[in-house]
Amino acid sequence: MSLLAFALLQAASAQPAAATPIGVPAGYRLVWSDEFEGRGLPNRAKWSYDTAFNKRGWHNEEKQYYSGARAKNARVRGGRLIIEAHKERLDPKRFADWGGQDYTSSRLVTRGKASWSYGYFETRAKLPCERGSWPAIWTLADRQNMKWPDDGEIDIMEHVGHNPNVVHQTIHTKAFNHIQKTQKEAIAKVPGACERFHLYQLHWTPERIRMGIDGRTVFNYDKPSGRPEEWPFDGPQYLLLNIAVGGMWGGMKGIDDKSLPWRMEVDYVRVYQAAK
């Protein structure tokens, strides 16, 4: 626990979080997990690939092409999920949705496979720290015609390579989001985030969202009202794991092409909910 310096910054008036423990709550049971056993592509019963914006380009001015089932970008090996970004141009005859990008990566989602309303989420991961990398572990609303940010986003872990070993935990809503610079956010120094595995944790209830790292709370957001503009978090959300390349935030200081490929390794993802 001593490796983590908590509460480096509380942005946009996120409620300061005491360095209190966070972990699997009493009375919760495991309802979904991936321990990444075996070898090959990610388990297709649990994960799919988000490739929707490859042709027209991804949000936030990101530079990557997100591949489908392609082991070069996402594979299971040695008990871990490996998401890997590469500098390469693709053959449009083989990749019809390629939009001319110079980089490839993967964006794995549980959408259409699993989603949850409330629970405790824990991911053990090691991050890339190279300049231009932007790995994330996060959730989005699982609903048809999802509207961002109105329907809510929970960022359990975001990291940008130009500021290594600093992790952001954030929520976005219609009232609180980065477009308006009103997002609710906490930032923590995580020494060794790119050399060692760390726990990234979310405890989401009808009254509160808490997030932590390595068993200590970093972020706390109490439901402020019944207004969906401030709390759209009463419906199911699905998980996403990805490495973006560049973009308005990740690429603020450019992309170090010589440092690619970049790798995020995930030891496990587990979801617990209160026993009924």
Q: Which residues are catalytic?
A: 153, 158
Nearest to 13 by CA among 224, 241, 271, 189: 224
What whole-number distance in Å separates Cα of residue 54 and Cα of residue 211?
Answer: 31
261 cis-preceded (ω within 30 degrees of 0) = yes
Q: To 10 degrees, the CA torsion angle through 269, 124, 257, 51?
A: 10
Structure-block tokens of residue 71: 């082991």
Determine contact, residues 164/129, Cβ cutoff 8 Å.
yes
**Beta strands 119-126; 262-274: pairing state:** antiparallel
First-to-last alpha carbon distance for the chain, in angstroms, is: 32
Is the Cα dihedral 128, 60, 57, 140 positive or negative?
A: positive
Phi, psi of 209 (to 5 degrees): -120, 120
- No. of helices (H) and no. of strands (E), the chain: 1, 19
